[in-house]
Amino acid sequence: MELSKPKILIVDDVNANSRLLAKKMSDEYECYTAMSGEEALERIRMHSPDLVLLDILMPGMDGFEVCRRLKADGRTRDIPVIFITSLNEDEDEAKGLALGAVDYVRKPFRMPIVKARIRNHIELKIARDLLESQAFIDTLTAMPNRRRFEEIMDKEWFRAMRKGHPLSFVLVDIDFFKNYNDNYGHQKGDECLRKVGRVLKESLCRSSDFVARYGGEEFAIILPDTDEQGVQLITGNIRDNLLSLGIPHDYSDVAPLVTLSQGAATIMPEEGLEPEGLIEAADKALYRAKEYGRNRVEFYS
């Protein structure tokens, strides 16, 4: 399978400059262009580039302000920024680097030098992303961990709010897992957690659906662009797929097999609301599922 190319956003209010740079780099990179600071911020949110080549002198929002906003936002602050500009004063370069840019290229530039600098910074970002990805993985189940969950939730919340789509969330808890651990041993308990994690991943319908180990015997599922009917489909898949495994649990008070309690909630994100409200609603639904006998799904409304 062919590996995807790193993505670069080229920001310059002179379209000819952007097109020239994109043409020269298209053999190594997937290139996007923007002609203003406002357009640059929107394209960064859409495409999540691996690097931004940024002009400074633009009408309206200049490159300095674009860089400042990128570095102030937790979702974009790690994207490397290289200023490429006709400003030749040392104080301008110092300002750009102080704002968080990784490099500063003065026009007129030599293309081989620019490509070498871009390649170096892309390689550094890939290495850093690899290290960070390892910090986002739960070592027991090899699933995304709670830290990664929080990052994805913020991203999907923003996307749902921008598009006006519903966002659903499910909290999943293994019923009487302490009894399972106490009687079968922690090695069997770890194996059970891994099996449940695999069932959850295999029960999702789309690549955008996301599941993480939330903590202990709890898992969290984010379902973008999914209404309550879609949630019912997913949670039903989870229940059926787990029961088909038939994992024995002689110490459960609800069934002789491992079962799950699930709490779900759906919301239409908008200004004034926060993701924590959606998480709290699903948590209340999960509490109700346990209170009503476990091995069931409850929806918060």
Confidence of residue 2 (pLDDT cuts 50, 70, 90): low
Q: Which residues contact 166 (CB under 8 A, 6 or more apart)?
A: 160, 225, 226, 227, 266, 267, 268
Judge contact between 168 and 265, C-beta under 8 A.
yes
For the chain, what is the domain count?
2
- The stretch 171-175 carries a mean pLDDT of 98
**161 and 292 inside one domain:** yes
| Domain termination residue (choose one: 109, 134, 159) | 134
Catalytic residue, candidates 217, 271, 276, 298: 217
| Domain termination residue (choose one: 78, 99, 134) | 134
- The stretch 111-125 carries a mean pLDDT of 94
Quick one: tokens of 53?
A: 């080549």
Condensed to tens digits (0 to 9), the pLDDT of residues 53-89 reads: 999 999 999 999 999 999 999 889 999 999 999 999 9
How far is 202 from 235, CA to CA, in rounded Å? Answer: 12
Residue 3 clears pLDDT 80, i.e. is over it: no
Other Cβ atoms closer than 10 A to 3: 5
Among 135, 121, 221, CA closest to 170: 221
Task: Please report which residue ranges of the chain form alpha helices under DSSP H.
Answer: 15-25, 37-47, 63-72, 90-98, 111-135, 146-163, 177-184, 186-203, 228-245, 275-291
Residue 118 clears pLDDT 50, i.e. is over it: yes
**235 and 291 inside one domain:** yes
Q: Give the percent of the chain with pLDDT over 70.
A: 99
Condensed to tens digits (0 to 9), the pLDDT of residues 14-41 reads: 999 999 999 999 999 999 999 999 999 9
**150 and 21 inside one domain:** no
Quick one: tokens of 144?
A: 């995304």
Quick one: tokens of 2?
A: 């062919």
- The range of the structural domain enclosing residue 129 comes to 7-134
Judge contact between 265 and 283, C-beta under 8 A.
no
Judge contact between 213 and 141, C-beta under 8 A.
yes
**176 and 239 inside one domain:** yes
**13 and 82 inside one domain:** yes
- The stretch 228-245 carries a mean pLDDT of 95
Residue 298 clears pLDDT 80, i.e. is over it: yes
Condensed to tens digits (0 to 9), the pLDDT of residues 202-227 reads: 999 898 999 999 999 999 999 999 99
**264 and 158 inside one domain:** yes
Environment class of 161 (CB within 10 Å of its CB; exposed 0-12, middle 13-18, buried 19+): middle
The CATH number of the domain where 60 resides is what?
3.40.50.2300
- pLDDT mean across residues, the chain: 94
CA R_g for the chain: 24
Per-residue confidence (pLDDT) for residue 1, from 0 to 100: 45
Condensed to tens digits (0 to 9), the pLDDT of residues 138-159 reads: 999 999 999 999 999 999 999 9
- The stretch 130-139 carries a mean pLDDT of 85
**174 and 255 inside one domain:** yes
Quick one: tokens of 245?
A: 């495994």
Quick one: tokens of 51?
A: 């690097």
**151 and 293 inside one domain:** yes
Per-residue confidence (pLDDT) for residue 267, from 0 to 100: 96
| Domain termination residue (choose one: 134, 162, 180) | 134
Question: Given the DSSP bridges, would you call strands 218-224 and 167-174 parallel, antiparallel or unpaired?
Answer: antiparallel
Strand partners of residue 297: 262
- Residue 15, phi then psi, degrees to nearest 5: -60, -35
Angle separating helix axes 275-291 and 146-163, nearest 10 degrees:
120
Residue 98 in any domain: the answer is yes
Residue 1 in any domain: the answer is no
Q: Which residues contact 232 (CB under 8 A, 6 or more apart)?
A: 297
Judge contact between 75 and 46, C-beta under 8 A.
no
**154 and 296 inside one domain:** yes
Confidence of residue 130 (pLDDT cuts 50, 70, 90): confident
The CATH number of the domain where 278 resides is what?
3.30.70.270
Residue 276 clears pLDDT 60, i.e. is over it: yes
In the sheet that holds 81-85, the strands lie side by side as: 30-34, 7-11, 51-54, 81-85, 103-106
Residue 76 in any domain: the answer is yes
Per-residue confidence (pLDDT) for residue 132, from 0 to 100: 77
Tell me if residue 156 is catalytic.
no
Residue 206 in any domain: the answer is yes
Residue 172 clears pLDDT 80, i.e. is over it: yes
**18 and 156 inside one domain:** no
**109 and 240 inside one domain:** no
Q: Dihedral through CA 285, CA 287, CA 288, CA 289, nearest 10?
A: 90
**124 and 71 inside one domain:** yes
How far is 192 from 174, CA to CA, in rounded Å? Answer: 9
- The stretch 290-295 carries a mean pLDDT of 96
